[in-house]
Amino acid sequence: MKIALGADHGGYELKEKIKQHLAKKEGIEVIDFGTNSTESVDYPKYGHLVAKSVVDKEVDFGILVCGTGIGISIAANKIKGIRAANCTNTTMAKLTRQHNDANILALGARIVGDVLALDIVDEFLSASFEGGRHQKRVEQIEKETCNLF
């Protein structure tokens, strides 16, 4: 499994911890799109770089980290085909894979502790999309309209 990582300065330290955590696992290859220090940067760039890597199928999933997980997930979700979910607990991580087929996990380094963040990563990467009734809803997201209006 290939994973793209990206973060702004607020998420840099947690991104590094996630990278070390994933390095201990067999069969996971990481592409790190930065940033590479706590020097202030703008999160949209990193959201877009990871999102592009996912839609180009260079990787299977992306993981993005900023201070809250909000800005970087909003940026990633601007890229067509991206379903980035900002998760603050393991249940959200499992359900967003099972129901939304989320292809990017976003985390807020100032919101969740490191141990919880790594558990959220593990849950996200081990859960699978259930398809079925959720399939058409994911397709509706991609079409941008639900033909309801």
Q: How many CA atoms lie within 13 A of 97 on its CB side?
A: 18
Would you say 35 or 96 has its CB closer to ligand RB5? 35
Burial class (CB in 10 A: 0-12, 13-18, 19+), 100: middle
> Does 88 count as an annotated binding residue?
no
The catalytic residue among 21, 48, 87, 99 is 99
* Shortest reach from residue 2's CB to ligand RB5, in Å: 25
Other CB atoms within 10 A of residue 107 CB: 29
* Shortest reach from residue 20's CB to ligand RB5, in Å: 21
> Does 48 count as an annotated binding residue?
no
Would you say 87 or 101 has its CB closer to ligand RB5? 87
Q: 66 an active-site residue?
A: yes
Strands (E), the chain: 2-7, 29-32, 61-66, 84-86, 104-108
**Residue ranges in contact with ligand RB5 by CB under 6 A:** 8, 10, 43, 66-68, 70-71
Peptide bond preceding 35 in cis form (omega within 30 of 0): yes
Q: 87 an active-site residue?
A: no
**Catalytic residue annotation:** 66, 99
